[in-house]
Structure 1
Amino acid sequence: MQAGRLEPGPVFLQQLALLPDRLPAHGSADYVHLLVEGGKLAMADREAWYGDAADVPLDALLSGPYNAGRRALVGDTASRELRPGSPGGRTPRLSAHAHALAVAARSRSRSRSRSGSGQGPGAAGEPYAPGAGEPTVATDGSTRGDTCHIDVVDRWGNMVAATPSGGWLQSNPVVPELGFPLGTRLQMAWLDPGLPNTLTPGRRPRTTLSPSLALRDGVPVMAFGTPGGDHQDQWQLHFFLAVTHGGLDLQEAVDAPNWHHDAFPGSFHPRGMRPGSLTVESRTDPAVIAALRRRGHDVTVAGPWSEGRLCAVARDPRTGILSAAADPRGAQGYAVGR
């Protein structure tokens, strides 16, 4: 399937724009490395340029020349730096917290280069707390949950992708002077003045939500998405390329071993960063895991069905055939047709 147009979040689009014309074999170590390193660059640009409180140079950020220059930064080994770009010659500016994380990451990277030693998945600046981000639900339903995703298509080809999500108490910092936590998504804004994501009256904080539609020749052909906080655009990129590049059907693409990295300032308290981190499912080919480690990625092997909560629907405009897929991860996804 060749998608002519996409309507997701800009970080997803920028990850696609950073890809070369020819991709390595789907699922190979070269392939995962390329996607992870491009994702780091897109997330660094998110930190410097994306938000609702300032003009976002979106055309420049998604342009061919800009991303060709950014693509040249992807080397053979894992980067441990936060490297926002300069679209249109603009100077990137980070929040004080993100800047501190970037400096710490750069220092750790230089120390690692001097020593030649490995480093486990550690934090730069404030510690990264697994599970402190967007809530999830265990397979037995015993843990907390919040965000969900739904895709719908009808026989006429009308499609909708939605990622409903609200505020929650368990991972939201309480304002000490007031005694209550921040409202929906407000914890994602910065208090530093003049940033695209600065807390500003009448403006919305930047969010991680990224429901997506793919169109071919202007006709909607697929709707897809997932809960997952900062992992949404990463999991969706893997899924989308599994369909368009890997030749998998919807369910095969959802089921394919997935991954994520946390090599950027997180959107959730304590807003940590894990330079060089890469978490993969245990179903990933051991040879691929070994090759990624040789490239300098700090690989954590997680459970076999731990990365993603994807679902998708599609319609072939030539035949009218509808299809759908749901994620077995979490045992909460359903694909239903009538």
Structure 2
Amino acid sequence: MRFTTRPELIGTFGMVASTHWLASASGMAILEEGGNAFDAAAAAGLVLHVVEPHLNGLGGDTPIIGYDVASGEPWVLCGQGPAPAAATASAFTDLGLDFIPGTGHLAAVVPGSFGAWMSMLERHGTLPLERITRFAIGYARDGFPLLPEASTAIDSVSELFSEHWTTSAEIYLPGGRIPAAGARFRNPLLADTLERIVRTAEAGGGSREAVIARARNTFYRGFVAEAVDAWMRHPVRDSSGEDHAGLLTAADLADWEPSWERPATVEFAGVTVAKTQPWGQGPVLLQQLAMLAHQDIGPAGSAQMVHTVVETAKLAFADREAFYGDPAFVDVPLDDLLSDEYARTRAALVGPEASEDLRPGSPGGREPRLSDAIFADRILPAGAGTGEPTMARAGVVRGDTCHLDVSDRWGNVVAATPSGAWLQSSPAIPGLGFALPTRAQMFWLEQSLPNSIAPKKRPRTTLSPGMLLREGKPYLAFGTPGGDQQDQWTVVFLLNHLVHGLNLQESIDAATWHSTHMPSSFYPRLFKPGGLIVEDRLGDEVIAELRGRGHDVTVSGPWTLGRIVAAGRRDDGLVVGAANPRGMHGYAVGR
């Protein structure tokens, strides 16, 4: 057995793993009270919105993959909100913009997180809304220890807050000062908002389901939507360096509902791997696994493994750029992209040397279509490309994402990836205590591309929860923050676990890497061809061989890449969980 930073947890009752210990503990408390995995996931997710405000927020985006014992089928719940009805390309180009700004009002899409949590609770939960929300309300009202990264994020945008985003300064610069790392931090406006939603929902009486539906209605058709609409009419400073009003309206919120869908899947190493449809980047992981099934990946952590995985990722992400988009607007050839025949053909392109070409394929005879801007000498600085960038006054700062997984004693399993509405990417809505998502920055303004901007279209999100099933039963929920890296780090994790036989914690703790060879999904859409970022724990010999194969290697610190967490259920009925030590606030809990 390898040394690990903490044990792989194994129990009989329930397991919660997330990117913050307070969220994990809150989810576990719900399980102890008799709630199921879906109750626990919603409670933990709402807590993440409070305690990781630099990584996600109540007004953000949350795709969810779940399996409930009652239906016996996995499902995807799309909590990725679409672009506003007014979001045409000309709405941006008429302002003189070549790209949608990464911050401010123009990048706002419909906030999907709250609707996703409420829809999941209404259909699959068991506990009353008040019991689910009380942990998030308590931390917002009474305070929580501010993470060092959150303090740093506030510091990086403090001048922007003071000069332009004064509604954010009201929350994040109490007394005009930057809150210290570890200090007790409160967001009473957010507590008020959640309490008002719950109070309004409960006032109408009725069943648990009726109360939860009324809470969703209060957010999307009540006082929250009204505040959003009013706020969008006020121009604010964004990453273009100018002030712009927004396009999002109360009608956009009222017209939206989260959608229930079947996952995209492939078979790999004896399991079924489930991901979202190609409105998210999830199928890019499926494509990689399908190609890797036809290759020799070598021993764990070897140069052969790193090289093979990276070169395979380059091919899959090139296809992502050329073909993925909202299936409601784009005819994505997903069956062809995930076919074994196509995987074999693409895998044959992986050679002994690193490729510096962007090489999308032709699934089903389709011709790939890439943005002209990709080839316009727009190169990422050395060492950049980790996390989800958002722009601030002084340059690029990093937003990111959260993740949570829950497995309960009845066999229900759920994975969710909350993100967006970062404190540093959008000014707080007056009186509500939270910001809006800025994921419209992921669209291209150039038309005729799979991910071109269009009214009511979902941006091709990077958010990518995952699930493994064995013989139709859920085995593992997993995921990580990390933008374009999400479906790279989790490939390494899955290979370590499914192919090399490492347990969950060993697989998470193992040294990892990722490529920067794909156009970033985030403003200003830069990339570094041939770039490879590795943790130095891979070792000098492996790193030297990778450079010898032509990779442009940047060596990162020993514990810097990835924040994977996982929870699931073994074949013998025992629940398992593990969490990433990187960042020093992810935790798994269970018994």
Bin of the TM-score, shorter chain as denominator length: 0.7 to 0.9
Structure 2: distance between partners of 1:144 and 1:11 = 23
Distance apart, 1:127 and its partner CA: 3.5
Structure 2 matches for 1:194-209, cutoff 5 A?
Answer: 194-209=448-463
Contact 1:36 1:261 in 2 (8 A): yes
Amino acid paired to 1:320: G
Structure 2, unpaired ranges of 5+: 1-267, 276-281, 391-396, 427-434
CA contact (8 A) 1:171 1:269 kept: no
How far has the Cα of 1:287 moved from its partner?
1.2
1:133–1:268 CA contact under 8 A, matched in 2: no
The aligned counterpart of 1:246 is 500
Contact 1:2–1:216, Cα closer than 8 Å, also in 2: no
Q: CA RMSD in A?
A: 2.2
What letter matches 2:317 in structure 1? M
Change beyond 3 A, Cα 1:293–1:49: same
2:13 matched to 1:13? no
Residues 79-113 of structure 1 show CA distances to partners (whole Å, capped at 9, x for unaligned) of 01111111111111111212x25xxxxxxxxxxxx
Distance 1:33 1:132 in 2: 19
How far residue 285 of structure 1 moved from its aligned partner, in angstroms, is 2.2
* Matches for 1:163-312 after TM superposition, within 5 Å: 163-168=417-422, 170=424, 183-312=437-566
CA contact (8 A) 1:37 1:74 kept: yes
Unaligned runs of 5+ in 1: 102-123, 137-142, 173-180
Q: 1:97 and 2:373 equivalent?
A: yes
2:573 corresponds in structure 1 to 320
AA partner of residue 308 (structure 2): L
Q: Which residue of the partner structure matches residue 177 of structure 1?
A: none
Cα distance in 2 for residues equivalent to 1:64 and 1:194: 28
Counterpart-to-counterpart distance in 1, 2:359 and 2:552: 19
Q: Which amino acid counterpart does residue 553 of structure 2 have in structure 1? A: V
Q: What's the CA shift for 1:144?
A: 6.5
Change (3 A) 1:146 1:66: closer
Where 1:320 maps in the other structure, the secondary structure is coil
Letter in 1 for 2:345: G
Measure, in 2, the Cα distance between the counterparts of 1:94 and 1:145.
Answer: 26
The CA deviation at 1:183 is 4.7
Aligned residue in 2 for 1:77: 353
Cα pair distance change 1:145/1:332, threshold 3 Å:
farther
1:26, distance to aligned residue in structure 2 (A): 1.9
Q: Name which of 15, 23, 27 aligns with 2:297.
A: 23
* 48-57 or 163-172, which deviates more: 163-172
Give deviations 1:40-91, integer Å, cap 9, x for gaps.
0000000000011311000001111112111111111100111111111111
1:4 alignment partner in structure 2: 271
Instruction: Determine if contact 2:388/2:398 at 8 Å carries over to the other structure.
Output: no
Q: Distance in 1 between matches of 2:364 and 2:385?
A: 37
Q: Which residue of 2 aligns with 1:336?
A: 589
C-alpha spacing 1:145/1:267, structure 2 compared with 1 (3 Å): closer
Decide which structure has the larger Cα Rg and report it.
2
Match of 2:402 in 1: 148
Q: What secondary structure sits across from 1:214 in the alignment?
A: strand
Deviation at 1:235, TM superposition (A): 0.3
Identity of aligned residues (%): 58
CA distance in 1, matches of 2:350, 2:386: 30
Alignment deviations for residues 277-303 of structure 1 (CA, whole Å, 9 cap, x no partner)? 111111112211111111001111100
Q: Which residue of 2 aligns with 1:67?
A: 343
Q: What's the offset of the Cα at 1:314?
A: 2.2
Q: Aligned with 2:588: secondary structure?
A: coil
The one-letter code of the counterpart of 1:327 is N
**SS of residue paired to 2:563:** coil
1:56 corresponding residue in structure 2: 332
Q: Contact conserved, 2:439 with 2:459, CA < 8 A, in 1?
A: yes
> What TM-score do the two structures reach when normalised by structure 2?
0.49
More helix by share: 2
Partners of 1:84 and 1:233 in 2: CA distance: 17
Structure 1's 146 and 273: CA in aligned 2 closer, same or farther, altered over 3 A?
closer
User: Hey, what's the Cα distance between the residues in 2 that align with 1:305 and 1:299?
Assistant: 17
Partners of 1:266 and 1:67 in 2: CA distance: 24
Helix, strand or coil at the partner of 1:290: helix
Amino acid at match of 1:281: E
The 8 Å contact of residues 127 and 270 in structure 1, kept in 2 or not, is answered as no
Partner residue in 2 for 1:116: none
Q: Call closer, same or farther: CA 1:286–1:81 in 2, change over 3 Å.
A: same
Match of 1:45 in 2: 319
CA deviations 1:193-246 (Å, max 9, x no partner) are 221101111210101111000001001000100000000000000001110011
